[in-house]
Amino acid sequence: MTEQAGAAKPGRERQEIQAVPVRHPGRWVAVAILAVLAAMLVHTVITNDRFGWDVVGQYLFSAPILNGLRNTLVLTVLSMVIGIVGGIGLAVMRQSPNPIVSGAAATYIWLFRGTPLIAQLLFWNFLSALYPRLSLGIPFGPEFVSVDTNILITQFAACLLGLGLNEAAYMAEIVRGGLLSVDRGQAEAAGALGMTRAQALRRIVLPQAMRVIVPPTGNETISMLKTTSLVVVIGYFELLTSAQRISNQNFQVIPLLIVAAFWYLALTSLLTIGQGFVERRYGRGFVPDRPGSRLLPKAGNK
Amino acid sequence: MTPMVEASGIHKSFGPTEVLRGIDLVVQPGEVCCIIGPSGSGKSTLLRCVNHLERIDAGRMRVDGKLIGYHEAGGKLHELRESEVSRQRRDIGMVFQRFNLFPHMTAAENVMEAPRTVLGTSRAAARKAAEELLDRVGLSARRDAYPGQLSGGQQQRVAIARALAMQPRLMLFDEPTSALDPELVGEVLDVMRGLAADGMTMLVVTHEMGFAREVGDSLVFMDDGVIVEEGAPRDVLSAPRHERTRSFLSKVL
């Protein structure tokens, strides 16, 4: 390369730039407006006693609310586990060279994304109307065990089936997007080293796809946290249902909505922090010292 | 002596495009065979057929006397299972133009990966072997660096060490220096020169005529899916017999 004339030659006298910085009066106006709005908000939250902060305090840690919170957590975690495992399976099926296998996955995704979640929850709950008894046996052959559908598919099981199987369809597309984001050369390099397709997927492709899969999965998890409240349509209860049951009796609607909102925000915050850690784990080798979460900046980062 | 690579009548098409149109090639054990030719001549495809990354349409590909991708029984060819193809590939190392290192693993982890996953080598033994291999390619100081922190030349040397970790009997190089900055080409060629001196059988698709002349035992010129000319590198490069070879060499030399 030819050196550019006079470019950064040592010894040349250094001329500091002394310029008048551009003023930004608009920014000060914006700050002033926001400050006034914030002050108004704080003022009204404190002075308007119809917020019922005493009621909020009274119910925040009450047994029915904590019960509902537990159900929300259990439903979210288990549905997401079903959704993620099912989603990975469907995404891998979708990429299968066998058109029947890939078509089956596509049909599943079409069906479960294309119908309302409420309808799916109701369907699983009323499965017994369609099949009063479920049995295990050889297809078209003898049956080994047979049980009453209503005993096997409890309300809780119907919730999990509805939320989890629906989530799997969405997760399948997220995982597929992640798998597609990994360069084909990676699977080829793994194959050339003697790894089977399954080994290459597990060790090479999936860990890299995770970088792309994790952020939307965090989205889905946070969304699921609140979607679980739909289980009320089949008579199950979780956090929001618990809050509403209480306010139906004492008519303190706003305070109990605040109680529910508090817990949803608390859980969402925890999930956001957790997502930061997971992202940092799968970001290895891509961006050095990547700040995983803005809530928890790594020491040394600005 | 059984040839290390024996390709006979290889044909390969991608859709309507016939990329390989009847290739016959023999590489003896310990031989360094360089393949040159214009882009689109099918040289990379031929290399990828050797380890069955591409499935051939016609002909037979043998490595160390064994049919690749198929086995012959009762006068019929039977496709090999995926696990059997994987087993065949263990003995054939491959180095890619774009390195294809695993970006989520350090240099040492890249080298350890295949022995650990495919052969079930213990962590300690794989680590020791990886350190020796990285030392051999002059990168022992960078063993804990991620590929993203290495220069192109360093990445390609790690890729060579990674391929060597499976103790292959044949190494395939697919334009190993084409993606490198000019000043980094030398360090990769040095490693390859060392490998050749150690007696490794190598099939090298390259544009480095100097390397082909100096290290290669044989040189193959491919154009339009066929081998136009082959022979000792010195002869082919300095006294090409075919017009197409001559015109290609006049452009690159």
CA angle A283, A285, A290 (to 5 degrees): 50
Contacts of A193 (CB under 8 A, 6+ apart): B89, B90, B94, B113, B114, B118, B162, B163, B166
Supply the pLDDT for residue B192: 97
User: Mean pLDDT of all residues in chain A?
Assistant: 89
With tokens 């051999």, the residue in question is B136
Supply the pLDDT for residue A147: 87
Amino acid symbol at A68: G
In angstroms, the CA A111 to CA A113 distance is: 6
Supply the pLDDT for residue B52: 96
If residue A137 lies in a helix (H) or strand (E), which one and from where to where? strand A133-137
The tokens of A113 are what? 């994304």
B190 close to B20: Cβ distance less than 8 angstroms: no
B174 close to B94: Cβ distance less than 8 angstroms: yes
Q: Residues of A with CB below 8 A from B82's CB?
A: 196-197
The closest alpha carbon to A75, from A148, A167, A151, belongs to A167
Mean pLDDT along residues A248-265:
94
| Percent of chain B whose predicted confidence (pLDDT) is above 90 | 96
Mean pLDDT along residues A122-148:
88
Q: Mind listing the pLDDT tens digit for each residue in B47-95? A: 999 999 999 999 999 999 999 999 988 889 999 999 999 999 999 999 9
By C-alpha distance, the chain A residue nearest B146 is A285
Nearest to B83 among A190, A196, A203 (CB): A196
Mean pLDDT along residues A265-291:
84
pLDDT of A298 over the 80 cut = no
Supply the pLDDT for residue A83: 97
Q: Residues of A with CB below 8 A from B145's CB?
A: none
ipTM metric: 0.93
Pairwise CB contact (< 8 Å): B114 & A195: yes
Pairwise CB contact (< 8 Å): B100 & A208: no
Supply the pLDDT for residue A9: 61
pLDDT of A293 over the 80 cut = no
Supply the pLDDT for residue A153: 87
Q: B101: distance to nearest CA of chain A, Å?
A: 7
Q: Residues of A with CB below 8 A from B162's CB?
A: 193
pLDDT of A12 over the 80 cut = no
pLDDT of A3 over the 80 cut = no
Mean pLDDT along residues B162-166:
97
Supply the pLDDT for residue A194: 96
A7 band by pLDDT with thresholds 50, 70 and 90: low
By C-alpha distance, the chain B residue nearest A186 is B100
pLDDT of A299 over the 50 cut = no
In angstroms, the CA A203 to CA B104 distance is: 10
A141 band by pLDDT with thresholds 50, 70 and 90: confident
pLDDT of A1 over the 50 cut = no
Q: Mind listing the pLDDT tens digit for each residue in B36-50? A: 999 999 999 999 999
CA A147 to chain centre: 35
pLDDT of B103 over the 50 cut = yes
A297 band by pLDDT with thresholds 50, 70 and 90: very low
A146 band by pLDDT with thresholds 50, 70 and 90: confident
Pairwise CB contact (< 8 Å): A193 & B102: no
Burial B73-87 (b: 16+ CB within 10 A, else e): eeeeeeebeeeebbe
- Per DSSP bridges, beta strands B201-205 and B170-174 are parallel
Supply the pLDDT for residue A8: 56
Query: Which of A182, A186, A193, A205 best probes binding to B when mutated, by most B CB atoms within 10 angstroms?
Result: A193
In angstroms, the CA B213 to CA B192 distance is: 14
**Cα separations in angstroms, A104 against A120, A140, A167, A271, B58:** 19, 21, 17, 33, 33
Pairwise CB contact (< 8 Å): B118 & A193: yes
Q: Mind listing the pLDDT tens digit for each residue in A89-133? A: 999 999 998 999 999 999 999 999 999 999 999 999 999 888 888
pLDDT of B206 over the 60 cut = yes
Mean pLDDT along residues B164-173:
97
In angstroms, the CA B176 to CA B95 distance is: 6
A44 close to A189: Cβ distance less than 8 angstroms: no
User: Mean pLDDT of all residues in chain B?
Assistant: 95
Q: Mind listing the pLDDT tens digit for each residue in A173-230? A: 999 999 999 999 999 999 999 999 999 999 999 999 999 999 999 999 999 999 999 9
The tokens of B212 are what? 């082909």
**Cα separations in angstroms, A86 against A82, A176, A199, B21, B88:** 6, 12, 19, 45, 33
Pairwise CB contact (< 8 Å): A192 & B92: yes
Q: A100: distance to nearest CA of chain B, Å?
A: 20
Pairwise CB contact (< 8 Å): B105 & A285: yes
pLDDT of B99 over the 80 cut = yes
Q: Mind listing the pLDDT tens digit for each residue in A166-188? A: 999 999 999 999 999 999 999 99
**Cα separations in angstroms, A140 against A134, A136, A137, A143, B58:** 14, 11, 8, 9, 45
Pairwise CB contact (< 8 Å): B163 & A192: yes
Query: Which residues of chain B form beta strands (DSSP E)?
Result: 5-14, 17-27, 32-36, 58-63, 66-67, 70-73, 76-79, 92-95, 170-174, 201-205, 218-223, 226-231
B19 close to B13: Cβ distance less than 8 angstroms: yes
Q: Residues of B with CB below 8 A from A193's CB?
A: 89-90, 94, 113-114, 118, 162-163, 166
pLDDT of A151 over the 60 cut = yes
Supply the pLDDT for residue A101: 97
Supply the pLDDT for residue A295: 43
The closest alpha carbon to B62, from B29, B97, B13, belongs to B29
Mean pLDDT along residues B18-38:
96
pLDDT of A159 over the 50 cut = yes
Residue ranges of A 126-185 with Cβ closer than 8 A to chain B: 183, 185
Phi/psi of residue A204, nearest 5 degrees: -110, -55
Mean pLDDT along residues B179-199:
95
**Cα separations in angstroms, B25 against A25, A107, B20, B22, B221:** 76, 47, 12, 10, 11
